[in-house]
Structure 1
């Protein structure tokens, strides 16, 4: 067909939001790899990305971090992911002018169109490959096309609690033998997920001074398994006073977000540090609840 041979002159695709399509029909029309998660049809100035729950068994956990930000795992089933081919196409799509369209699987062979995306940034994390070996993976963070985020992603200066060497339980792997530090690779993309999840604001107060906010786990690294350590729902973003109290199990939160004060401190002590006992987290997810329950069990 003449209209799919010259990049830049191809007509835009006519996908409708939330429309369910047979994936094979999309490729019949535009071409591109029919099996890959990232498909780059030749002659068309766009990239098709496909996301589904079945990919989680290979470390491909994609999700909406908030209403406007979607995180997508790069391609490569074994070994460390490389910034090449489809991954490189996504990383450079703003420079090359290629538009990105997201589809989510609803059943085998059928996908639902979820909209056009624009890259914010990407980072690295550790995840199992197809053979169950820990490897370096790439996480892309996209926003919906045309959306102005209500916060500015300023990652420099955000403090992140990282495990001490004694708390590391992931055994040494090929990546570490190459001189990379696995925990820090894993913390990069995880930190950004937590920041986007809480929209760069303290979960309790809404305070947005990036330089003093702290991203940490609800269930601590030492008590979590490998999946829980990188689950964004096990993350919370707090200003220093609340983070210190939360870390020491002197405060916790009900599933409805209401703060719980430990009797280990007197009411006058809470008053002196500005904690009233009336604080509430307004946007907890259902997935946060199981982690908070475990945190509440440790309150002093």
Structure 2
């Protein structure tokens, strides 16, 4: 059983207990009184991550509250859920609920996602499993810059066509610093992280998930060379816009280079726009036909894209 703790003998997990744990004990889209969940399964009644040593379950609660502390969370695609670690003040650390989530598979715990329904009540969404985690720079409740833990969970039973290690961009001139997520960086390392634009690694992963692991134009799916291209460029964006995955499109290098230089853009109906600065024959030599469409533009993408279109038109 994938959720069993490999350090525990099977004699501890009796067959009847295993069968009980394998069943989902909650009904999707059913609303539960949160107090009843804690009465039955224990865990902290106030935090977004609720776990208990005496229960095989961990509950995570998602809602609108907490976004001011960088707690924004939600589905990146049909099967990947993005979730912020706990801790309102100072750097987040892999302790308590954060540690329980990261190690839940090894420890035989199951993670269940609930969404805020109304005061005191939550709606069950689905069961999740740990997929990946990283560190993003954000602000805490006091407005101080801090390192925030970000989790990527996959829907239990879902097939994800990539592994966490596949997200590394081998041709990047500004690669994400590689740190063990068991240990947050020290002061010297953090200075290096800031120089290297902390959070770009998380941003890239979010954009890749959002665009389902392939170039938004061509469908090319070799992640090591695909680029999480900013729609509003880094230099022109606010701090929030720089790390907002809605300000990103996953592109293969040719389209990224043209898009970054405003030599192509995309209409709101998804069609490509070619700059008159380059002849059609020249575009065709690099494989750009003018018939391309970008796939799956979201409403949130469009607000950024309109700014890109404005610069494109003025060139």
Could you give the per-residue CA deviations for residues 10-51 of structure 1, whole angstroms, max 9, x where no partner exists?
A: 954621111112212211221110011111023111211111
- Worse-superposed segment, 45-54 or 244-253: 45-54
Distance 2:63 2:231 in 1: 27
- Worse-superposed segment, 148-157 or 186-195: 148-157
Q: Is the 8 A contact 1:48 1:103 kept in 2?
A: yes
TM-score, structure 2 normalization: 0.84
Q: CA shift at 1:127, angstroms?
A: 1.2
Do residues 293 (structure 1) and 309 (structure 2) align? no
Do residues 156 (structure 1) and 168 (structure 2) align? yes
Match of 1:213 among 192, 203, 226: 226
Match of 1:106 among 109, 117, 123: 117
What SS class does the counterpart of residue 48 from structure 1 fall into? strand
What SS class does the counterpart of residue 275 from structure 1 fall into? coil
Could you give the per-residue CA deviations for residues 101-136 of structure 1, whole angstroms, max 9, x where no partner exists?
A: 011112232211110001111011011111111110
Q: What are the ranges of 5 or more consecutive residues in structure 2 without an aligned counterpart?
A: 1-11, 176-185
| Matched residue, 2:191 | 179
Q: Is the 8 A contact 1:160 1:191 kept in 2?
A: no
Q: CA shift at 1:222, angstroms?
A: 1.1
Match of 2:52 among 23, 28, 41: 41
What SS class does the counterpart of residue 72 from structure 2 fall into? coil
Distance 1:238 1:177, change over 3 A: closer
- Worse-superposed segment, 287-296 or 182-191: 182-191
Q: Is the 8 A contact 2:203 2:245 kept in 1?
A: yes
| Matched residue, 1:31 | 42
| Matched residue, 1:269 | 282
Distance 1:225 1:190 in 2: 14
Distance 2:310 2:91 in 1: 38
Distance 1:50 1:149, change over 3 A: same
| Matched residue, 1:167 | none
Could you give the per-residue CA deviations for residues 117-173 of structure 1, whole angstroms, max 9, x where no partner exists?
A: 01111011011111111110011101100011244551233555759xxxxxxxxxx
Do residues 242 (structure 1) and 279 (structure 2) align? no
TM-score, structure 1 normalization: 0.88
Q: CA shift at 1:223, angstroms?
A: 1.1
Q: Is the 8 A contact 1:60 1:73 kept in 2?
A: yes
Distance 1:280 1:175, change over 3 A: farther
How many matched pairs? 284
Do residues 96 (structure 1) and 107 (structure 2) align? yes
Q: What are the ranges of 5 or more consecutive residues in structure 1 without an aligned counterpart?
A: 1-6, 164-173
Q: Is the 8 A contact 2:227 2:251 kept in 1?
A: yes
Q: CA RMSD in A?
A: 2.1
